Chains A and B, each alone.
Chain A
């Protein structure tokens, strides 16, 4: 198993998610938006909707904001602050765990200054990978060791699939692993998605430094699962020298 980072990681999104015991107030959501306005100037709000139907009349009512999404100008770094928690997301190009963790930690620390100490009920680390394979016609198991099996009576040739599993790793930690085909992003390539979300709801330390060590440990589990799910041929795609234009 490679110990170093890949030269060309297939990561299209990396997420650190922290959820709290108590809901965040709307006023605090707006304070967070103001706090990060300079570095994350693109703001979108999500409002709760209630749809009711009485005979032939459908009524849609908008309720107050329940989440604010803040993005950098290039849309590559995103903060989602919502009633239950705080998410930091980095879209491709991925710049490494240290950068994501440092940024997420800084955002968390600034938010904590706004709303004070909040007990954490769930932390999660989610990585979504798109593995681009330079061929039209591929055997999924040559690249990803997780997917679907079909009865012999059905053709094993298929153009699209989605499969997922949530597995209990013990001690309140779960891994939600999903795989599937992506739209053809590149000409003459086939793309397989591999989404690994490792999260825990138990034993989250109240102290910040210990909680962040726990986040680091979830990332290590995620890395381990990723390596278990791919083959050497797949690894070669991410390390191919000189392939990046």
Chain B
């Protein structure tokens, strides 16, 4: 490669050459992806945390938590339908309701939420789940049917705890508790015969 310090060289001469000029600044940007390319490295903190101003009040903290989750969801929005995204946002708003916040309510762990979204996109089409928050801050996806129920608690780092309850005809109720990583989630659901409870047929 040839470096050319004279910017007056002709266009033809410039082909494949490196023309040293004053550095040209790029247009300002705000996304995590831009930050990676601007700085040449993966930022150590997640995008939601970067963008959330420091909380001074509970109200501010709720707002920050909600924003953090929505920003992450928006960053993968191209993999979610509008309907699905709106449904998730509606449930986040209900779980992190500024006007009805009580001392028992807990914030949603970003790492747990990230696991949930990655499962929705990677594993398949979860049927609409009722979302709840465990006291640990982990988000739980729940499916309730008349004779069965399933709770998938999302942990950090793409791990899950599954709790299934069902009553086979003429038999005593059964409770199944399993741990699973994301890559095994589908097979774990198959194993406990709960796939049809929470997933549509694969498209």
Residue numbers of A with Cβ under 8 A of B are 8-10, 12-13, 15, 17, 42, 44, 69, 71, 73-76, 78, 80, 82, 87, 89, 91-93, 124-126, 128-130, 132, 160, 162, 164, 166, 168, 170, 174, 176, 178-180, 182-183, 185-189, 193, 195, 197, 199, 242-245
Contacts and interface: CB of A to CB of B under 8 A. Distances in A.
Contacts of A170: 11
Contacts, number: 139
B49 interface: no
A76 B121 CA distance: 21
A15 B29 contact: yes
A51 B83 CA distance: 50
Task: Tell me whether chain B's interface is mostly helix, strand or loop, or mixed.
Answer: helix
Contact of A176 (B24, B122, B203): B24
Given A15-B29, A195-B34, 7 more contacts: A13-B33, A73-B67, A87-B27, A93-B78, A187-B122, A187-B158, A244-B80
A186 B75 contact: no
Contacts of A183: 32, 36, 42
B33 A128 contact: yes
Contacts of A78: 30
Residue with the greatest number of chain A CB neighbours at <10 A, chosen from B76, B78, B119, B158: B78
Contacts of A132: 76, 78-79
B90 interface: no
B45 to A, nearest CB: 11
Interface in B70-128: 70-71, 74-81, 84-85, 118-122, 125
A209 B34 CA distance: 29
Contacts of B170: none
Contact of A74 (B28, B32, B40, B67): B67
Contact of B30 (A13, A82, A124): A13
A244 to B, nearest CB: 5
Contact of A92 (B74, B118, B119): B74
A193 B70 contact: no
25 contacts: A8-B78, A9-B78, A13-B30, A15-B29, A17-B27, A74-B67, A75-B71, A89-B28, A89-B30, A91-B75, A93-B85, A124-B26, A128-B37, A130-B33, A130-B75, A132-B76, A174-B24, A182-B33, A186-B118, A187-B183, A195-B33, A195-B37, A197-B26, A244-B78, A244-B79
Residue with the greatest number of chain B CB neighbours at <10 A, chosen from A89, A187, A188, A199: A187
Nearest to A9: B78
B37 A164 contact: yes
B29 A89 contact: yes
Report the contact-size class of chain B (Cβ under 8 Å from the partner).
Answer: 35 or more
B51 interface: yes
A130 B75 CA distance: 9
A186 B76 contact: yes
Contact of B80 (A188, A195, A245): A245
Residue with the greatest number of chain A CB neighbours at <10 A, chosen from B11, B26, B85, B121: B26
Given A44-B53, A91-B74, A92-B78, A15 B27 contact: yes
Given A74-B74, A188-B122, A80 B28 contact: yes
B31 A128 contact: yes
A17 B77 CA distance: 24
B129 interface: no
